Amino acid sequence: MDAGARLTMLARAGFATRGALYIVIAFLVLRAGRAEDPSGALEYLGDGGGMILLGLMAAGLIGYGLWRLSDAAFNIEQHDDDTKGKISRVGAAASGLIHLFLAWQAIRLMQGTSGGSGGGTEEGAQSALQLPGGFILLIIGGLILIGTGLYQLVKAAKGSYLKHLEPQVARKAWAQWTGRLGYAARGAVFLITGGFLISAGLDSQASEAGGMSDALAWLTNPWDILIAIGLLGFGMFSLIEARYRRLQTVSAGPLASGASRFGW
């Protein structure tokens, strides 16, 4: 199996892992009224499934993280060489790092160390506020999150999330609606967390910052249920991507050419 085939396999495992995490997040809201983020979902799975399940989740998260970083470095998804394409590659790099961090948390949980899912956003905001002009950094970060949320909502409305699926699957209603609900729900979560961060910057209060779990806890009934249903849809769509996403562009060619530019 060449490097491209291994990367493709890792990417599919990564999509499946991401889907499982979002399904758990939705399940916890719908069945237990418990608001969690992906880190909290990992802790829940670790408590219920033990070392083997955490190991599988860590492997999947590493696979997804490496695939996203490879896309950022070598453009294996063939983004256009314009501003939009460059932003997409920067987003891929950020996503890759986030998922590698989640893999690290899963490994720490396997070692019996707390994953530290709570308070991470608040701690980061506190660190930013200690810098000169730190409140501006929080406001800029909040605006970026709001922009990301709006982008997710546009994807939900236009159905552009379907372009990477195999055509016969992209035409199926179950693929269209799980993705539409999922991206709309993710967009709403990004908007809320962006608002939290802007509020923290304007008031210079790190305690006002919050991540996904805070956004889900902030929502009242029935909005929390609706968003949870949407996140369930995103989890299911990620599973669909694990099986039906077109990854033929993930080949050894771009990896080899990119590596040669770095002298690897």
pLDDT of residue 121: 86
SS3 category, 133: coil
Query: What confidence tens digit (pLDDT) does each residue in 212-253 have?
Result: 999 999 999 999 999 999 999 999 999 999 999 998 554 444
Which are the contacts of 211, defined by CB distance < 8 A and separation ≥ 6? 37, 120, 121, 193
CA distance 231 to 187: 10
pLDDT of residue 3: 67
pLDDT of residue 79: 83
Query: What confidence tens digit (pLDDT) does each residue in 128-186 have?
Result: 999 999 999 999 999 999 999 999 999 999 999 999 999 999 999 999 999 999 999 99
pLDDT of residue 115: 52
pLDDT band of 96, cuts 50, 70, 90 = very high
Q: What is the mean pLDDT of residues 196-224?
A: 95
Do 175 and 169 form a contact (C-beta atoms < 8 A)? yes
**For the stretch 29-44, what's the b/e string if a residue is b when 16 or more beta carbons lie within 10 angstroms of its beta carbon?**
beeeeebbbbbbbbbb
Asked if the model's pLDDT at residue 19 lies above 90, the reply is yes
CA distance 187 to 107: 29
Q: What is the residue-averaged pLDDT of the chain?
A: 88
Asked if the model's pLDDT at residue 34 lies above 60, the reply is yes
Asked if the model's pLDDT at residue 32 lies above 70, the reply is yes
**Phi-psi category of residue 205: left, alpha or beta, with phi > 0 → left and psi -120 to 50 → alpha:** beta
Single out the residue of 149, 121, 118 nearest to residue 42, CA to CA: 118
Q: What is the mean pLDDT of residues 56-76?
A: 90
CA distance 76 to 117: 32
